[in-house]
Every structure is written in C-alpha cells, then in structure tokens.
Amino acid sequence: MATHLDLEEQEQLDQLKAFWKQYGNLITWALTIVLAGFAAWNGWNWWQREQAVKAAAMFDELQKAADAGDAAKTAGIFNDLKERFGGTSFAQQGGLLTARVQFDKGAPDAAAAALTWVADNAAETEYRSVARLRLAGVLADQKKYDEALKQLDAASAKEFEALVADRRGDILAAQGKTEDAKAAYKKAWDTMDPAVQYRRLIDAKLTALGAAPPAETAKTGTAAAADGAAK
C-alpha cells in the first residue's frame, strides 16, 4: 500500500513538473505583470497625492499674490502652476483667479489668455463653463461680440444655463438686437431659481426692454428671493 502511495505521489510530482515546465514561465510573467500593476497603482496614487500637495502650496502663494493685487507675481506663479501641475484643479482655479486680477488691473488680453487656458484645459465641464462665461464678458467689454457669443455657445454646464442666457442677453442688447436680447433674458428668468436674488436684476433688464415678466410671476420671484435672503 505504501509503495502504491509512493508511486502515486511520484506520478503526481512528475505531472506537476511537466506542467510547470510547460506553463511555468507564462505563470511567472502573469504574476509579475499583476504585481507590477499593483505596485504601479500604489505609486500612481502616491504621486497624485504628492502632486496635489505641491499644487496646493503653489496655489496658496498665488492666492496671497492675488490678494495683494500683484498681477505680475500672480501671473508668474500661475505660469509655473499650469506647467508643473496643469492637470490639477488648483491650476484651473489659479487660472480663474489670475484672470480676475489681470482684468482688475486693466490687462484684459492677459485675462482672456488665462481664461482661454482654463476653458481649453480644465477636466471638469463646470470649470470650462465658468471660464467661458467670464471670457465672454471680457470679450464683450472689448466689443468682440461675435467671439463672446461663441464662448457662450460652448459653455455647456447645466448649472450655469441661466447665467449664460443672461450674459447672452447683455451681448445681444449691446449689439442692438433687442428682440433676441429679450428672448435670452426670458430664458434666464425662466431657468433661474426664484430664490436667487440675481433674478430680480434680470427682471429689471426685461422691464427696461419693455418685456417685464407678468406681475404675479415677478411678485412670486421677488418674495422667494427675499425669503431666500432672510434664510
């Protein structure tokens, strides 16, 4: 019996050796790939965390420069931020902040360049839409109305639909296209949450163009806005 078991065990061992000889390298390579992938995943997560920490520190410096009104320093830090950490949300926020400072300091072209970078490179639709909305305003101030409207056409985030329509109305009104402006403002009025006080400004724009919302609707919107403000 013992001899039979020994022979059976030897046969199994021989089969295992044959199997390993045939498939051993394949199994080893497969395990190596899996382990390497796991290591790479951990390394990628670590790298991402490191990138975020460094980008956050750089953004903090940018914000300090912006708060001080130093447009040149703000722009310099933003250039470094987008080159080194362009894929982070800090770079996108930095672009929006840099554009604001540059615009306030009378450099609309530089502001437009920063906003264009965000609009073209931001990963999130919301950041791209905010950048295009602000860029449209900068272009409109420069009377580049057609370019401004194109930016609004590309601002697709649902959350900003009302503001995009309102900005479109401003541009169309500046072009003397009164009926188109009314339609845009009406869309902004219909789309915007009645609790948002800004809706009252849209009401005023429509009224100025002779297209005031119905009195009952306007009253309801104003009351809701006041209630929202009180809360």
23: domain CATH number is 1.25.40.10
3-state secondary structure of 101: helix
State the Cα–Cα distance between residues 172 and 196, nearest whole angstrom: 23
State the Cα–Cα distance between residues 122 and 95, nearest whole angstrom: 10
What pLDDT sits at residue 218? 41
- In the predicted model, is pLDDT for residue 130 greater than 90? yes
CA nearest neighbour of 82 among 29, 201, 74, 71 = 74
Q: Is residue 199 part of a domain?
A: no
What pLDDT sits at residue 166? 95
What pLDDT sits at residue 13? 64
Structural tokens at position 64: 């300090």
State the Cα–Cα distance between residues 13 and 17, nearest whole angstrom: 6
CB atoms < 10 A from the CB of 103, how many? 21
State the Cα–Cα distance between residues 108 and 149, nearest whole angstrom: 17
Structural domain that includes position 82: 19-156
Q: Is residue 58 part of a domain?
A: yes
What pLDDT sits at residue 41? 42
What pLDDT sits at residue 29? 60
State the Cα–Cα distance between residues 171 and 169, nearest whole angstrom: 5
Count CA within 13 A, CB hemisphere, residue 65.
22
Q: What angle do CA 120, 56, 123 make, to 5 degrees?
A: 25
- In the predicted model, is pLDDT for residue 128 greater than 80? yes
- In the predicted model, is pLDDT for residue 203 greater than 80? yes
Letter string b/e over residues 17-38, b meaning 16 or more CB atoms within 10 A of that residue's CB: eeeeeeeeeeeeeeeeeeeeee
The band of 102, judged by pLDDT with boundaries at 50, 70 and 90, is very high
Q: Is residue 2 part of a domain?
A: no
Assessment of whether the complete model's pTM goes beyond 0.75:
no
Question: By the 8 A CB rule, do 125 and 157 touch?
Answer: yes
Q: Is residue 182 part of a domain?
A: no
The band of 11, judged by pLDDT with boundaries at 50, 70 and 90, is low
- In the predicted model, is pLDDT for residue 76 greater than 80? yes
Rounded to a whole number of angstroms, the CA Rg of the chain reads 30
**Local structure of residue 69 (DSSP, 8 states):** T
Percentage of the chain lying above the pLDDT 70 cut: 71
What pLDDT sits at residue 226? 38
Q: Is residue 32 part of a domain?
A: yes
Question: By the 8 A CB rule, do 56 and 90 touch?
Answer: yes
Sign of the alpha-carbon torsion through 75, 81, 87, 93:
negative
Provide the domain count of the chain.
1
Q: Is residue 204 part of a domain?
A: no
Q: What is the biggest distance separating any 2 CA atoms in the chain, rounded to whole angstroms?
A: 107
Lowest mean pLDDT among 27-31, 49-53, 163-167: 27-31
Q: Is residue 210 part of a domain?
A: no
Structural tokens at position 58: 């750089």
What pLDDT sits at residue 220? 46
Percentage of the chain lying above the pLDDT 90 cut: 59
Q: Is residue 180 part of a domain?
A: no
Lowest mean pLDDT among 33-37, 69-73, 151-155: 33-37
